[in-house]
Structure 1
Amino acid sequence: MFLVLVVTEELREFLARARSGAGRLIQVLIRDEQLVLGAYREPRQSWDKDYDHFLLPLLDPNEPCYILYRMDTKNAQGYEWLFISWSPDQSPEDVCLQGYLRHVTSCSAPAPLTAAEQELQRIKITEGRVKQVKTEITVDPKHQTLQGLAFPLQAEAKRALQQLAERRINYIQLKLDTEKERIDLVHTSPTEIRDLPCRIPLDTPRYHFFLYKHSHEGDYLESVVFIYSMPGYSCSIKERMLYSSCKSRLLEEVERDFYLEVAKKLEIDSGEELTEEYLYDEVHPKQHAHKQAFAKPRGPAGKRGNKRIIKGGGENGGNS
C-alpha cells in the first residue's frame, strides 16, 4: 500500500517562484500527510560557504524532512538544485558539505572491481613492467612477435643445471619469484620415478627437470624430461600467466647454454600422472602401423574380347 502525500498550494506557489534563483534553501516537512513549507533561506555567500551554516541547524533528530538546496551553477533549465532526503536514522556527517563532496567523488570514481578484476589489473601492470625490461622482440618485415618473458636464472639454479648436464644429479625443481622477477632453485633431491608424484606441489606451479633412466629396444638411455606442473585453479591468475610465459625462454636457455637436450616436455596438473608407464609412453610414443587395404585381384592377362550387349526380356518375360 502506497502513501500519497499532497503538496499544499502554498508550497506549490513557493516552489514556482524559487525557479528564479532568489532562494538558497527550501525545507519541506510532512504534516498530516501533506508536504508543507518548513524553512526558507536566501543566499549570503557562495553555495559551499552557505551549505553547512544553513542546512545543519534544520536537521531535527526526531523528524524527517526534505531539503532543496540551490547551487551556483546553471544548466539549460536554470539553476541546479540538490535534493536531500533527511531521516533521523542518518548522521549529519552524511549530509554535511564534506559528506556531499565524498558522495560526488565516489560517484565519479570507477566502479569497484571484483577480486578477479583486481588480480587481472595487477597482472597487466606487472606484465607491462616486465616486458619493458625483460622481453626480447623479434622483428621481421611483416610483423613483430613477443617470444615470452625472460626471468633470469639465479646462480644456484645455473649450478644445478650444469650438474644435471654432467649427470651428477638426476632431479631439479625450479620456481618463479614473481616479486623479484627471477627463477630460483627449490631443491635437487635424488629422485626415482616412484618419488616423482611427491615432488609435485598441490598449490603452486613449478618447473622440473628429471633424468629418466630406462631401457628401450635393448639400449640403456638417460633422457632429460621437462615437467611443467600447474595445479589447476588453486593458484593465482598471475602465477599461471607468468609460469606459462617464462617456460619457453627457460627451455631455450637450458638447451643453448647447458647443452641439455630435452627429450620430452610435459605439462601436468597432478603428480598422480607420473608413472613409469606414462613416462615411457611419452618419451617413446607407440608407432601406429597403417593397415594396408586389400588389393583388387587383377583380371587374366591378354586382350579382352569385344563388349557384348545383352537385351533383357519384355514386361511379360517374352521375346520382343
Structure 2
Amino acid sequence: MSHQTGITANESLLHAFGKSKNGKIRVIKISIENEQLTPASVQNVSKDWEKDFDKMLKPLIEPNTPCYILYRLDAKTSLGFAWLLISWIPDSATIRQKMLYASTKATLKTEFGSAHITEEIHATDIDEVTLAGYYKHKKTFAAPAPLTMREEEMIELKRAEVNTHITADTRQQTMSGINLPLTASATNGIKDMARGSYNYLQFNIDLQAEQVNLVKAANVELDRLPKEVPSDAARYHLYLFKHTHEGDYLESIVFIYSMPGYSCPVKERMMYSSVKATFCEAIHKLGLDIAKRLEIDSGAELTEEFLQDELHPKKILHRPQFAKPKGPPNRGIKRLTKPAAAE
C-alpha cells in the first residue's frame, strides 16, 4: 500500500517496532511530529494484558490530541504476539489533525506489519480506550467468520432443495453471483470508511486465494480520483462523493467497477463481473449504503460532471413533437385535375 501523506516512521519508531517483536514491549504510543511518525511512549510488559490495559493506557490519552496506540495482547498468531491498534482521534481535534491521522494510519500499519495487527479500534471518546470499552467494541462488531466457497455452495444447495417451485425470481436469487470472503483488512477498511476515516477505498480479487483484498485506503480529492484507477487491471472502488444538488449538500457513496477493456484475461473479467453483486451486499451489511453503482473502462471518465449526471440524471420535461417535414421548395402551384366527362 502506498504512503497516502508521505509521512513515514522515523528511525526511533522503526527501532521500537523491531524490539516489539521480542514480546517484552506492551505499549507503543505514536504521534505525528514534524511530519514523521514518532514514538511518544514505549512501555514494557508488567502483568497480564487485562491488568496492564487501563493502568498503562489511561495516562497516555490526551483529551484533545490524536495519537495511535499499539497494544500487545497475550494471544499469539503464527507470526508471534497479536497486537491491537487504537486510533485515538477525539471529536475536539482539528479537522486537519483528523484528516492527517486518518490518512496516515495505513502507512503505520504497513511499517509495523499489518499481519501482526489482529484488531483495531477507532476511538473518539475516552471511555472507548478502556478495558470495558474494548470488550464493548468486540461485542458490537462480533460477526460470524466468512464462509468458504464450498460452504456457500452447500447453503445455496439446501435452499434450492427446500424451494422446489422454480420461477424466474427464484432462479435469479440462486444465480445472483459468486460470494467470495473478504480479508480482515478489507472488512476493517469498509468499517473505517463508515466511521468517516477515509473517503476512498480500492479492492482487488486474489484469484488464487479466492478472496477480496483491500489495496488502498485514503482520502482522495476528486480531481485526483482518475489517477487511482489502474489501466492494466480490474478493480472495485468506493468513493464518498461530496457535492451539492439543487441547493442541498449531499454525501453519496459510489461503487465503481473499473475494467480496462479486453486487456485483462477472460478469467479475471468473469470473476470481477460475478463477484460484484455479492460484494456490494457485503458492503451494505458492514454499514455503507451505496447510492450508485458504476462501470467504467478508464479513470478518465470519473469527472464531477459524470458523477453528478449518474446520481442526478437530467429530466426532460417537454419532448418536442414530431414535425412533418416540409416538401421540396419551388414546386409551383398545386394543380387540381378533374376527371374527364364520360362520352
TM (norm. structure 1) is 0.49
More helix by share: 2
* Higher relative contact order structure (alpha carbons within 8 Å, sequence separation ≥ 6): 2
TM (norm. structure 2) is 0.46
Structure whose alpha-carbon radius of gyration is higher: 1
